[in-house]
């Protein structure tokens, strides 16, 4: 997350996790949203860099983090079904 700072990353992580759970039809708590959002930000940043997509600021970080969080929740749902 370029240029948003530590507190900004936490806020974006919570919001991205919440957006991802709404998109995926899940119901998690605040801490789970934060974890999913922050890990999703790493996943999203990795995917964006592989695709050559550059993002900056709050909006770009939120979009990339949300996409990464949705991908993360999708992958986790695949593992959960197998158990």
Q: What is the pTM of this model?
A: 0.82
Task: Show pLDDT as tens, one digit a residue, over the chain (83 residues).
Answer: 556 677 888 888 888 889 999 998 888 788 888 888 888 888 888 888 889 888 878 888 889 889 999 998 898 888 876 65
> Distances from the Cα of 78 to the Cαs of 5, 60, 63, 66, 82, in angstroms?
33, 27, 23, 18, 7
């Amino acid at each position: 997350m370029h240029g948003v700072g530590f507190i900004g990353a936490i806020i974006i992580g919570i919001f991205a996790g919440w957006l991802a759970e709404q998109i995926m039809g899940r119901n998690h708590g605040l801490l789970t949203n934060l974890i999913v959002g922050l890990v999703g930000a790493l996943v999203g940043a990795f995917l964006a860099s592989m695709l050559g997509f550059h993002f900056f600021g709050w909006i770009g970080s939120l979009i990339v983090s949300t996409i990464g969080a949705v991908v993360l929740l999708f992958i986790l749902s695949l593992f959960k079904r197998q158990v």
